[in-house]
Chain A
Amino acid sequence: MADNSQLLFNLAGDSTLKVQLRGIWRLRGGRPSAALVEHELESARQVRDIAFDTRELTSWDSSVLTFLVEVSELCRQRRIPMNREGLPVGVQKLLALAEAVPERKGARREVTEASFLERVGTDTLGFVGSAKEMLAFLGDMTVTFLALLRMRARYRASDLFLLIQQCGAQALPIVTLISFLVGVILAFVGAVQLKQFGAQIYVADLVGIAMMREMGAMMTGIIMAGRTGAAFAAQIGTMKVTQEVDAFTTAGFSPLEFLVLPRVMALILMMPLLCLYADFVGVIGGAVIGVSMLDLSWITYFNETANAISLTDIFGGIFKASVYGVLIALSGCLRGLQCGNSSSAVGDAATSAVVTGIVAIVMACGIFAVVFYILGI
């Protein structure tokens, strides 16, 4: 078959290795390896130079070039002159172009496998560095908040209202869906167990207390970390890439006041409302199971719920939700401000914001559990 790339060798005279390139040389179809030439050179020691014959080369692309660059490297190592006259003019020119600029010294990165100790050390230093950055950010934010309390902080009220809309009203559908399902799941798990003791009615207590004390705040927090925390990081990260943050800084507007503060405030204000709403929807989810599976009436279910929960439970949940809101906003904004200078860095910032936010929420949840237990709430 003449339409595949072919390589033939013959010795012209004693000392010239004639390499014949035939057929169609296309990257797509693969190409003969330069190792064949090397092999040929090994076996014919008396070769003094290499020439090419391309009269039967039907068509070519970069595959010929990569092959020839390798051959040229082989010739250089063996100090054999490479006669390029037999090559098509285009190939000769491209080859000259590829070899025109010598490799920059030190440009090639040394790929070395770091030892275990080295990696542990680098990671530890990285961790210390990021912990320092986080502390510095928290310190700056505290100062900014004090300025807010003294009415000295500057931000645009219109930004705040827009953010409140984005992380308040627009989050309602997803919060509704998730908390309804959480209520349903809790009720379902409880129903199966409690039915064995004929204590179906306590499903209402279970769902009510669980939603008010923990699940309402927790689920809202996780939804908002994924939804709003990521959005904050992406917004601020993009603003860093487009130098909007630099423009704020040089114009004397603190990015913390103009960008971070309204975001934190929006979540502090909206998280308690969303949490309260999630609590309510969760109870309805539980009631749907109670009524449909356990033959309870709506009235009985709600009376039992009302007896089970106290205002302390509700306020405890709402307080937690505000704290989660602060954590989500801060981790989103911090990751946004740390964002590097490319579009992939914005993606990393958003991912990292969600991870940081959720980790912070779960840790805070654990701390609250201990503190509430000690305080007897």
Chain B
Amino acid sequence: MASQTPTGNHTKAHITVNDLTMAFGSFVLMRDLNFAVNHGDIFIIMGGSGSGKSTLLRHMIGLIEPARGDIFYGDENFTRADFEQRQKLLRRMGILFQTGGLWSSMTLAENIGMLLEEYTELNPAEIREVASLKLALVGLKGFEDYYPSQISGGMQKRAGLARAMALDPEVLFFDEPSAGLDPISSRLLDDLILELRDSLGATVVVVTHELASIFTIGNNSVFLDPDAKTMTASGDPKELLAHCPDPKVRAFLRRGEKENV
């Protein structure tokens, strides 16, 4: 691989995105994406609407194949891995989809239990116990036998998070966690993300454009600029706010308000 990563160190970073180009057919959405996510980071993928944030996340979890470039988890190349290898890597990831993505034909406990049944040696009673624990962690104790359609949108998000955590993943992906949540719920979700990172030691990747979230939880980020068709900044969002040379990034982080120089 001739191209280098920003940190230049494969062994240290948890996730490395190398020279990634995202394209649909001949339409190039983003090119030359290079960044690294370190262990324990809460990494924000930010950018305006339609800049390809969610698409980047879908690339990172293998739902879309890159037009060019590679994604590494530790030293392992996720993009070029064969089916078995990729499944092994995916088992170490948990994903919270934008709409929750809960399986609507199953109760919350079954949603979580399904993964445990498939990938652990636990017996049904133990599975039920673990599922209850995961639901309790996101504040949904007692909702084991509800179907996703019977609970509110915010609760679905949290249940989705409980499912994402079912197998104690090393990386958690969040696609617009605060979309459709009221300010208080979204704040609680932010706190939950921080707490889970600290206690589980997981690396977290969050797609969001909520400034409040970006500054509260993020300690590393990339900024996608749809006009430049590439990333125009990366690093700690607080640093970027103060020192980023690109005025567009500063404007985004200031919510478009004028800078007092």
B137 within 8 A of A: no
Known: A250-B63, A252-B118. A242 touches B101 (CB 8 A): yes
B99 close to A250 (CB less than 8 A): no
What is the bound-complex CA distance between A248 and B100, given in angstroms?
12
What is the bound-complex CA distance between A253 and B91, given in angstroms?
11
A107 CB to nearest B CB, Å = 12
A33 contact set on B, CB distance < 8 A: none
B61 within 8 A of A: yes
B4 within 8 A of A: no
B134 CB to nearest A CB, Å = 14
A247 close to B103 (CB less than 8 A): yes
What is the bound-complex CA distance between A231 and B58, given in angstroms?
28
A250 close to B93 (CB less than 8 A): yes
Within 8 A of A (CB), among B48-73: 58, 61-63
Chain B positions 88 through 103: 1 when the CB is less than 8 Å from some CB of chain A, otherwise 0: 0011010101111111
Contact-residue bracket for chain A: 10 to 19
A250 close to B62 (CB less than 8 A): yes
A370 contact set on B, CB distance < 8 A: none
B101 close to A154 (CB less than 8 A): no
B167 CB to nearest A CB, Å = 9
Q: Which residue of A lies closest to B95 (CB)?
A: A250
Within 8 A of B (CB), among A234-267: 239, 242-244, 246-253
B95 close to A242 (CB less than 8 A): no
B93 contact set on A, CB distance < 8 A: 250
Within 8 A of A (CB), among B100-126: 100-105, 114-115, 118-119
Residue in contact with A252 in the complex, picked from B58, B63, B90, B105, CB distance below 8 Å: B90
What is the bound-complex CA distance between A86 and B102, given in angstroms?
58
B185 within 8 A of A: no
A243 close to B105 (CB less than 8 A): no
Known: A154-B118, A252-B118, A253-B118. A247 touches B101 (CB 8 A): yes
Q: Which residue of A lies closest to B156 (CB)?
A: A242
A159 within 8 A of B: yes
B195 CB to nearest A CB, Å = 24
What is the bound-complex CA distance between A142 and B188, given in angstroms?
47
What is the bound-complex CA distance between A233 and B115, given in angstroms?
25
A250 close to B102 (CB less than 8 A): no
Among A242, A251, A252, find the residue whose CB has the most chain B CB atoms closer than 10 A.
Answer: A251
Residue in contact with A246 in the complex, picked from B97, B104, B105, CB distance below 8 Å: B97
The number of A-B residue pairs with CB atoms under 8 Å apart is 45
A249 close to B63 (CB less than 8 A): yes
B104 close to A244 (CB less than 8 A): yes
A258 CB to nearest B CB, Å = 9
A247 contact set on B, CB distance < 8 A: 95, 97, 101-103, 163
What is the bound-complex CA distance between A80 and B55, given in angstroms?
47
B87 within 8 A of A: yes
Chain B positions 133 through 145: 1 when the CB is less than 8 Å from some CB of chain A, otherwise 0: 0000000000000
A159 contact set on B, CB distance < 8 A: 105
B104 close to A239 (CB less than 8 A): yes
A154 contact set on B, CB distance < 8 A: 118
Chain A positions 134 through 166: 1 when the CB is less than 8 Å from some CB of chain B, otherwise 0: 000000000000000000001000010010000
Known: A250-B90, A250-B93, A252-B87. A244 touches B103 (CB 8 A): yes
A244 close to B118 (CB less than 8 A): no
Residue in contact with A243 in the complex, picked from B87, B98, B118, CB distance below 8 Å: B98
Within 8 A of A (CB), among B183-219: none
Residue in contact with A251 in the complex, picked from B58, B98, B115, CB distance below 8 Å: B115
Within 8 A of B (CB), among A272-294: none
B99 close to A243 (CB less than 8 A): yes
Q: Which residue of B lies closest to A238 (CB)?
A: B104
User: Which residues does B use to contact A, with CB under 8 Å?
Assistant: 58, 61-63, 87, 90-91, 93, 95, 97-105, 114-115, 118-119, 163
User: Which residues does A use to contact B, with CB under 8 Å?
Assistant: 154, 159, 162, 239, 242-244, 246-253
Q: Could you pull out 6 A-B pairs where Cβ atoms are within 8 angstroms? A: A162-B105, A243-B100, A244-B102, A244-B104, A246-B97, A249-B63
User: What would 15 more interface pairs be, CB under 8 Å, given A244-B101, A244-B102, A252-B90?
Assistant: A154-B118, A159-B105, A242-B99, A242-B101, A243-B100, A246-B58, A246-B101, A247-B97, A247-B103, A250-B62, A250-B95, A252-B87, A252-B119, A253-B114, A253-B118
Q: List the 10 shortest-distance A-B pairs measured between CB atoms, nearest first.
A: A243-B101, A247-B101, A243-B97, A252-B87, A242-B99, A243-B99, A250-B95, A244-B103, A250-B61, A244-B101
